[in-house]
Structure 1
Amino acid sequence: MPGPNECEDINSFLVPLVEELLELAEGVDTVRVAVGEEALQGDIFAFKLRAFLIIIFGDIPAILKLLMMRGHNAITPCCTGLWPGTPYHGQKVTYYVPLTPPKPPEGRQANVLSPDEFIPFMRTHDNFLYYYDRLSRLPESPARMRLSQQCGLHGRPVLASLKSIDLLSCAPYEMMHLIFKNLIPNMVNNWKGTFKWITEGDEPYIIPGDVWKTIGERTAAATKTIPAQFVGTIPDIDKDFGIYKVEAHSFWFMHLAPVLLNGVLPNEYYMHFLAMREITIWCLELEITLEQVDALEQKIQEWVQGYERLYYRYEHYRLPACVLTIHALFHIPYYIRRTGPLSATWSFVMERFCGYLLWPAFMNRVRPYEFLDNFIRRRAQMQIVAHIHIQEEERELISTKEVIYAANHGYVLGQPINRRYHPSDKLKRRFTRYFGLAEEGGRRGVSYREIHDKIDWDTLVRHGRFRIASMGDRVHAARLVQNSTIARNNSFIRLATILYKCTPPWDSSWRRSRAT
C-alpha cells in the first residue's frame, strides 16, 4: 500500500495487479534452454508459463479492506463465519462475538441456547458471491445498508474476478498479527489493569505495580544472557511496553513469561496463560498432522471458554474483552486444514525482509521509491548470477568487513582487523613452539632459531572475531567485550553431572566382596 495514507478505493488500486494475474492465468509464451542428457546444446523449448494467486495474507484490517468486509461494524463481523455479534453501545455500536452471550438483566429469563447453536455458521465461496450479487443489484439506500450490515460486506472486491481464489479460505488468519501484535499485548494490558475501560481495580488477575516493576527489571536484565541470534534487546516491559515489537512480544511471552509470571498470577490464570503458550507453539509448527489439528481444535475451544469465564465473566459491560482476535482463534484449525501450517503464511519473515529493504530508501531522500526499485531489481539479478556461477562451497554470505581464507573455508574472520600487527616476543615464542611441533613431526633436529626465521612476521593479520560458516557459533576476543551493564555476556559453560550407579562402601555386602 502506498503511504502514508491508505487507498480510498482499494479496487482501483488493485486493477493493474488483477489484470496481470488474469494474463498469467491464461498463460504467457516463454522459452527455456534445455538441459540434461536428453537435450542438445542450445536447444530451446517454448512453453506456457501460468501463475495463479491462491492465498493473500496480512493483518485483519488489511484483509477486511481487500475483501471489502465491514469487520466489527457489521452484525456479522467475522471473516469466516456468519455468526451474529452482540451489540455493545459505547461511543459507537460495536459488535462482539462471544461464545456465550451475556447474562440477561435481572428479572428476565436467561436465553439458553442449545449446543448446536454455539457452532458458527461458516461462510462459503458461493455465499460470498451470493451477497456480492445482491449488493450489486441495490442502489445506495437504507435497504442496501441494512443488507451490508447483516452480511458484513461492503461490495464486490476486484479479487473476486480471479477464478483461482476461494474467497473463504484465501485469507487465513495470520499468526504474527493475530497472536503477537494483538492477543499478547491485550493479555499484558489485562494483567496490568489497563485493558480498555472494563477494569474495576479488584480483579484477581491484575498484578500490582510494584510487582510489575520487578518483572520489568528482570526482563531487561535477562537480555544480557540471551544470545543475540535468539532475540534483540528486550526493554523493560513495565516502563517501555509501548516500544515492544513482535520479536520482543513473542520472546517474552514464549520464554520469559513462564518464569516471570509463576507465583505472580493466580494459579488458574497462570495455567490458562500456559495453555495459550502451548497453542502458539502448535500453530507455528512446520509440520502438523490431522490428528494434531483435531487436538489443537479442542485446546483452542477449551482456552476460549476459559478466557470468557476468567476475563469476560458473561457480563454485558465486559463485552469489549471478547475482541474479534479471540473469536478468530476458533477458525485456526479450519485454515490449517485448508492451507497448511500457519508457519507457511505468517508475515514475520516478510516484514523482517521489508525492514531490510527500508535502508536504501533512507539513503536517497529525494527519489526513495525509484532507488528502492533499483535496489530490489539489482539484488535479484545478483542472486541469479550467484546461483548460476558460484559453487556451492563458495556461497557463504559474508559482509564487506569479513573474509574467508582459502586455507579454511569453514571459518569466517571479521573485524576489528589489524593488517600491520607486530607480535610481542612472548607471542613469537608461542608461534615458534607451535610450528616447531609440526616441523619435528616431519624431520628431527630443526632448531628453534631456524623455525623462528622461517616465519614472516611482517605479514601477520590479527582479527578480533570469527564465526563458523553456515550460521555457526561466533567467537570474539575477550578484549572486545564491553564492560557495560547492558552488554551481552557471550560466555557459555555447560555443566554435566555424571551419576555412577554403584554400591556404597558402607554396605556390608560390598565389604564382603572386597574381602574375598
Structure 2
Amino acid sequence: MPGAASAYTGGKHPGAKVPCHFCPIQGIRILDTSNLSFYLPLQRPPGYRPSQFTIDDLPLRTPRQYLSQARQVDLAPTVKRQGQLSKRYGINYTPIMSKAPGVTLPFSSPFDFMHMLENTCSNYVGHICGEFKGLDAGRESYILPPAIWKEIGRATTNATSTIPSVFGRRILDVSKERTFFTCESYLVWCTLYAPILLRNRFSRPKYYAHWMLFVSIINRCICFRTTKAERDQLRVDIKKWYQEYEE
C-alpha cells in the first residue's frame, strides 16, 4: 500500500497508472470525465482497448527486471524523461532497501492484507445496498431493497446484544453507520453475521452463493495452517470469485 510502496519498493501509490509492484498491469481512466484516478478492470468496458492480461495470465516482475527498470528511472537524462519512465514502470527510484541483505524486491514487500480486506468488504457492501459510487446494478439485480437493508441493519444491532465479545467487537447498524466500521468490524460482519442475515434476501440464489464464496476465501486466507492442495484450490476460487465480481 502507499507506505510500503514509497518506503520499501520505490513504487507508485495504488492510484497510479502502474500501481502494482508485483506485476506490470496498467490502469485505465474513466472516459469523458475529469476523474484522474486509474482503475484496473481486467474485463474492459466497451470503448476501451482490451487488457493485455487475464486473471490466468498476470506475469510477475522478476527482481532483476524490477531493479533494472528502477535504475533506468534513476539514470534518465532529463526530468521529463525520468517522469515518463517512472509512469511507464510504476517506479519512482531505486529503493534503499534493495541494498539490505536478504531483501529481494519486489517480493520482500507484500501487500497490506488488512486494508485490502477492508476495502473489498466495504466496496462489496456498497454494491449490494446500492451505494457504490453512484453505480446501479447494470444488467443484474443484486441490490437489496432499502426496506430489507434497514431490516438487516436492525438485526445486526439486535444480535450484538447476545453474541459473546470473544467473537469480536460490537457491530453497529450496517445499514447506516458504516462510517464507523473498522477492518475488524467488516471482518466480523462479513464472515459471522452476513451468512445468516443475507440468506434468502437476494433476488437470485447466485448472489448469495457469490457472497459465501467470498466468505470462504477470507476464512481460508486467515487460517493458521494450510496445505499446498488447499492453496491451489484457493487460487482457483479467488479467480472464480473475481470473474463473477466483474460480471
TM-score by length of 1: 0.44
> What's 2:27 paired with?
85
CA distance in 2, matches of 1:112, 1:77: 15
**Aligned to 2:102, what secondary structure does the other structure show?**
coil
Residue 294 of structure 1 and its aligned partner are, at CA, apart by 0.9
Q: Which runs of 4+ in 1 moved over 4 A?
A: 110-115, 200-203
What displacement does 1:74 show?
A: 3.5
1:160 matches 2:73: no
Quote the offset at 1:113 in angstroms: 6.8
Larger radius of gyration: 1
Match of residue 220 from structure 2: 282
Structure 2 matches for 1:295-306, cutoff 5 A?
295-306=233-244
Q: Match of 1:125? A: 63
Deviations 1:348-395 (A, max 9, x none): xxxxxxxxxxxxxxxxxxxxxxxxxxxxxxxxxxxxxxxxxxxxxxxx
Distance 1:99 1:194 in 2: 23
Candidates 25, 28, 43, aligned match of 1:100: 43
Q: Deviations over 1:34-60 (max 9, x none)?
A: xxxxxxxxxxxxxxxxxxxxxxxxxx2
Find the aligned partners of 1:231 and 1:242 in 2 and give their Cα distance. 18
Q: Flag the structure with more relative contact order, 1 or 2, with Cα contacts below 8 A and sequence separation at least 6.
A: 2
Distance 1:75 1:253 in 2: 31
Out of 106, 119, 129, the position equivalent to 1:182 is 119
Q: CA RMSD in A?
A: 2.4
Q: State yes or no: 1:150 paired with 2:92.
A: no
Q: How does 1:134-149 map to 2 (within 5 A)?
A: 134-149=72-87
**C-alpha separation between the residues in 2 aligned to 1:113 and 1:65?**
27
Structure 1 residues 240 and 111, CA, compared in 2 at 3 Å: closer, same or farther? Answer: closer
Pairing 1:221–2:163 present: no
Do the aligned residues in 2 keep the contact of 1:77 with 1:84 (CA within 8 Å)? yes
Q: In the alignment, is residue 172 of structure 1 matched against residue 113 of structure 2?
A: no
The structure that is strand-richer by fraction is: 1
Contact preservation (8 Å) 1:234, 1:248: yes
Q: Please list, as runs of the form range in 1=range in 2, the aligned pairs for 1:452-471 lying within 5 A after superposition.
A: none
* Corresponding residue for residue 170 of structure 2: 233
Q: Once the two structures are superposed, what CA deviation does each residue of 1:368-425 show, in whole Å capped at 9, x if it has no partner? A: xxxxxxxxxxxxxxxxxxxxxxxxxxxxxxxxxxxxxxxxxxxxxxxxxxxxxxxxxx
What letter matches 1:84 in structure 2? Answer: Q
The equivalences for 1:191-206 within 5 A come to: 191-199=128-136, 204-206=141-143
The one-letter code matched in structure 2 to 1:75 is K
Match of 2:6 among 65, 84, 107: 65
Relative distance call for 1:112 and 1:73 in structure 2 (3 A) is: closer
Which amino acid in structure 2 is aligned with residue 77 of structure 1?
P
Structure 1 residue 248 displacement after superposition: 1.6
Q: Which residue of 2 aligns with 1:262?
A: 199
- Give the partner amino acid of 2:36: V
Where does 1:311-330 land on structure 2 (aligned, <5 Å)?
none
Structure 1 residue 202: Cα displacement: 8.4
Residue 229 of structure 1: SS of its match in structure 2?
helix
Q: Which amino acid letter does the alignment assign opposite residue 87 of structure 1? A: R
| In structure 1, distance between residues paired with 2:200 and 2:79 | 57
Equivalent-residue separation in structure 1 for 2:42 and 2:214 (angstroms): 17
Over the matched positions of the two proteins, sequence identity in percent amounts to 27
2:10 touches 2:91 (CA, 8 Å); kept in 1? yes
Task: Please name the residue that 1:294 is paired with.
Answer: 232
1:71–1:79 contact (8 Å) kept in structure 2? no
**In structure 2, C-alpha distance between the alignment counterparts of 1:73 and 1:243, rounded to whole Å:** 24
Superposition deviation, residue 139 in structure 1:
4.6
| Partner deviation per Cα, 1:177-211 (whole Å, 9 max, x = no partner) | 111x2110111111121111333688512112111
Q: Identify unmatched segments of 5+ residues in structure 2.
A: none
1:244: Cα distance to partner? Answer: 1.2
Pair 128,92 (structure 1): closer, same or farther in 2 beyond 3 Å:
same
> Which residue identity lines up with residue 151 of structure 1 in the other structure?
Y
Question: Is the CA contact (8 Å cut-off) linking 1:86 and 1:96 kept in structure 2?
Answer: yes
Is residue 6–residue 13 contact of structure 2 (8 Å, CA) maintained in 1? no
Task: Give the C-alpha shift of residue 72 in structure 1.
Answer: 4.3
Q: What is the CA–CA distance in structure 1 between the aligned matches of 2:19 and 2:28, rounded to whole Å?
A: 10
Residue pair 2:24, 2:60 contacting (<8 A) in 1 also: yes
Distance 1:93 1:157 in 2: 26
Please, which runs of 5 or more residues in structure 1 have no aligned partner?
A: 1-59, 310-516
